[in-house]
Amino acid sequence: MQDSYGRDINYLRISITDRCNLRCVYCMPEEGVAPISHTEILSYEEILRLVGIFSTLGIKHIRLTGGEPLVRKGVENLISDIKKIPGIETVSITTNGILIPEKIEALLAAGLDAVNISLDTLNPKRFENITRREGFEKVIEAIKLCEGSGIKTKVNCVAMKGVNEDELASIAGLAEDLNIAVRFIEYMPVGKNDFEKCVRKEDILKSLTSVYGPLYKLDKNFGNGPADYYKPEGFVGAIGIISAMTCNFCENCNRIRLTAEGFLKLCLQYDKGITLRDMMRDGATDEELAQEIEKAVKDKPKQHIFNDYQEHEGIEEKNMSRIGG
């Protein structure tokens, strides 16, 4: 399936819940958000039906997100069922890791291919300030459990000025002895106007080289995302940087998103898309849904404009927890 710019769209991120057991400062307000009614959320049966349709259109890779996907009951069964759909090559999750220790065996049995674990600090007190919850030790345990199980493991760190820019090198050090990829993500002002929080790629690299010396760029890709990967001398794992703000990589974008409410979202920054849930519940056939999906994908924006300080129509105003990241 291609969009109007010739990009091959083969990666679908599915938010399966808007609920989360943390309250990260860049994702949702401290008081949380009003939860979406269960009747408004896609059922697992509806998700599976849509994944089956998407697979016939060329989607090969599925990532489950939230909120926090592991708070939704039966997620391991959903993973197992998605893995059985012809054409789907990988199923992965993005998680805060809190529930990994109690669910790791079930996730492995379900056939989970990869996990991205969010961690923005190695300081337990700062962890509580960022997430507004306890749980640092469980996240560290989750990283070690996943790496030890052999599952492809990445650690995602949002680099933020005034928050954690002083410990980026320490966080990168997790990859020194563990076979994981630690990825630094430039802060993106989704639904907000706080550009000043972004730590740019060049500054991230400067922090890392000041501690570890030269970073050798790798040709190897560690997944389906847009990160550039590096390895300092002596590291077992790798370091990745996702530089959405300074190095626009939209020309290679291969993804679309499905929100927990069944809205097919074409670009992280824009509110453009179509509501597949209502079409399904109004009796649309698989063929009709496929046609509307293909038509929508043709309308995928050319690129984001995060660096443009002007106001534009159609800019996403929802918090990340409502989008699926």
Confidence of residue 193 (pLDDT cuts 50, 70, 90): low
Q: What is the pLDDT of residue 309?
A: 46
**What Cα–Cα distance (Å) separates residue 129 from each residue in 19, 26, 133, 247?**
19, 12, 8, 30
| pLDDT over 60 at 301, yes or no | yes
Q: What is the pLDDT of residue 272?
A: 83
Give the CATH number, domain containing residue 293: 3.20.20.70
Region 307-311: mean pLDDT is 50
- 132-179 pLDDT per residue, tens: 999 999 999 999 999 999 999 999 999 999 999 999 999 999 999 999
Q: What is the pLDDT of residue 12?
A: 97
| pLDDT over 70 at 320, yes or no | no
Total domains, the chain: 1
Please provide the size of the chain in residues.
325
pTM, entire model: 0.90
Residue 5 lies in a domain: no
Name which residue leads in pLDDT, 108 or 318: 108
Residue 302 lies in a domain: yes
**Percent of the chain clearing pLDDT 70 (strictly above):** 89
| pLDDT over 70 at 269, yes or no | no
Structure tokens at 209: 């080289």
Q: What is the pLDDT of residue 318?
A: 53
Whether 239 and 182 have beta carbons less than 8 Å apart is answered as yes
Boundaries of domain holding 70:
11-322
Name which residue leads in pLDDT, 188 or 111: 111
SS3 14: strand
Residue 6 lies in a domain: no
Distance CA 58, CA 8 (A): 9
Name which residue leads in pLDDT, 45 or 35: 45
The CB-based long-range contact list for 83-88 (8 Å cut-off, 24+ gap) reads 83/110, 83/111, 85/48, 85/51, 85/52, 85/55, 86/55, 87/55, 87/56, 87/59, 87/60, 88/51, 88/55, 88/59, 88/60, 88/61, 88/62
Name which residue leads in pLDDT, 251 or 114: 114
Write the CB contacts of 84 (distance below 8 Å, at least 6 apart in sequence).
none
Peptide bond into 67 cis (omega under 30): yes
Average pLDDT across the chain, whole number: 90
Closest CA to 256 of 86, 14, 88, 4: 14
Q: Which residues pair with 181 in a beta bridge?
A: 154, 238
- 54-80 pLDDT per residue, tens: 999 999 999 999 999 999 999 999 999
Q: What is the pLDDT of residue 225?
A: 72
Distance CA 47, CA 259 (A): 11
Angle between helices 100-110 and 75-83 (to 10 degrees): 20
Residue 76 lies in a domain: yes
The CB-based long-range contact list for 270-274 (8 Å cut-off, 24+ gap) reads 270/301, 270/304, 270/314, 270/315, 270/316, 271/314, 271/315, 271/316, 271/317, 271/318, 272/299, 272/301, 272/314
| pLDDT over 70 at 315, yes or no | no
- 206-264 pLDDT per residue, tens: 999 999 999 999 987 777 777 899 999 999 999 999 987 777 668 889 999 999 999 99
Instruction: Out of 8-17, 251-260, 293-302, 303-312, pick the least confident.
Output: 303-312
